[in-house]
Amino acid sequence: MGVTYPAGTVSTQITLDPVTGKLKKIEKIQGGILGASLGNGTHVSEESCLPAKIPFKP
């Protein structure tokens, strides 16, 4: 049928610097399908964000 993967863990830390508008995401991957496809270890990504023109209303 298909490939069976054991359970894995992913922990994510997201940081947004309101002064610079930088969003930083740190993901620690261990095992499972993500570990098999992306690789185990720490993956870091950054984005530049801009303020919304209309204030957010929940």
Percent of the chain whose predicted confidence (pLDDT) is above 90: 45
Angle among Cα 39, 40, 44 to the nearest 5 degrees reads: 85
Q: Which pLDDT score is estimated for 58? A: 64
Give the mean model confidence (pLDDT) for residues 3-13. 90
20 belongs to a structural domain: yes
Q: Domain total for the chain?
A: 1
Task: Quote the mean pLDDT of the chain.
Answer: 86
Q: What are phi and psi of 53, to 5 degrees?
A: -75, -30
Q: Is residue 33 part of a domain?
A: yes
Kindly state whether residue 57 falls inside one of the protein's structural domains: no
pLDDT of residue 52: 66
Q: What domain range is 22 assigned to?
A: 9-48
Predicted confidence at residue 13, as pLDDT, reads: 97
| 19 in any annotated domain | yes
Q: What is the mean pLDDT of residues 24-52?
A: 90
